[in-house]
Amino acid sequence: MKRVGFLLKVREKYIEEYKTHHQNVWEEMKSALVRHGWNNYSLFIRPDGLLFGYFEANESFSDSLTGMSKEQINTEWQELMSPYFEILEGSDPDQSIVELEEVFHLD
Amino acid sequence: MKRVGFLLKVREKYIEEYKTHHQNVWEEMKSALVRHGWNNYSLFIRPDGLLFGYFEANESFSDSLTGMSKEQINTEWQELMSPYFEILEGSDPDQSIVELEEVFHLD
């Protein structure tokens, strides 16, 4: 198991819409996440839209991302989410993620 | 149980020292954290020193902070850590923490 921390940035004007979508994540999307080891997965937001993600991957962040990248439902979800994020033109949110380094852990 | 996400900022020039301290957290400090419900506690750092914390509190972030504030070992630890953080003069790191809002969770 590998604990993963990552950051994204939601555009400030879309924060409320982003939150509403995340109260209603598609069941098929959640099943895909579970299949690819996004375990105990939480997202937290700062009032300006900085978004922090935490989950416990089976193997690694890149394995979990690669697994999702092959799921059609994830392609559709990322297309829906794409306008909400501050990202480079033409890339999707999964490619603008910043992985953080774990510096401490206590069980 | 309440999942907690929070942010702090380590001064860039002290990042390496901060990391070294966290490879050697005092056993007494870790026991105090466990006593006050800092369960499955991780810290992650961005290269510029932005620090993200995640843990699973028994009740709430404020309960876990209040519990620690009454522990002498925590006072000593916070005194040691205080120069490493970008904080207001005269306050200690625990008082400069930004709690984040959970917007999604998947078990």
- Taking the C-alpha atoms of residue B41 and residue B3, their distance in angstroms, rounded to an integer, is 10
Nearest CA distance, B33 vs chain A (angstrom): 9
Of A69, A84, A97, A80, nearest to A8 (Cα)?
A: A97
Q: Is A107 a member of any domain?
A: no
Q: Chain B: residue nearest A18 by CA?
A: B103
- Chain B residues touching A1 at Cβ < 8 A: none
- A25's CB contacts (< 8 A; 6+ apart) are A77, B104, B106
pLDDT for B51 beyond 80: yes
Summarised one tens digit per residue, pLDDT across range B52-102 is 999 999 999 999 999 999 999 999 999 999 999 987 656 667 767 888 889
Q: Is B107 a member of any domain?
A: no
Q: Is A105 a member of any domain?
A: no
- Taking the C-alpha atoms of residue B84 and residue B98, their distance in angstroms, rounded to an integer, is 16
Catalytic residue status for B36: no
The boundaries of the domain holding residue A70 are 2-99
pLDDT for A55 beyond 80: yes
- Mean pLDDT, chain B, integer: 92
Give the CATH number of the domain where residue A94 resides. 3.30.70.100
Please answer yes or no on whether B41 and A105 come within 8 Å at the CB atom.
yes
- Taking the C-alpha atoms of residue B106 and residue B55, their distance in angstroms, rounded to an integer, is 15
Alpha helix positions (H), B1-107: 15-22, 27-35, 61-69, 72-81
Please answer yes or no on whether A105 and B54 come within 8 Å at the CB atom.
no
Please answer yes or no on whether A104 and B40 come within 8 Å at the CB atom.
no
How many structural domains does chain A have?
Answer: 1
For residue A98, what pLDDT is reported?
84
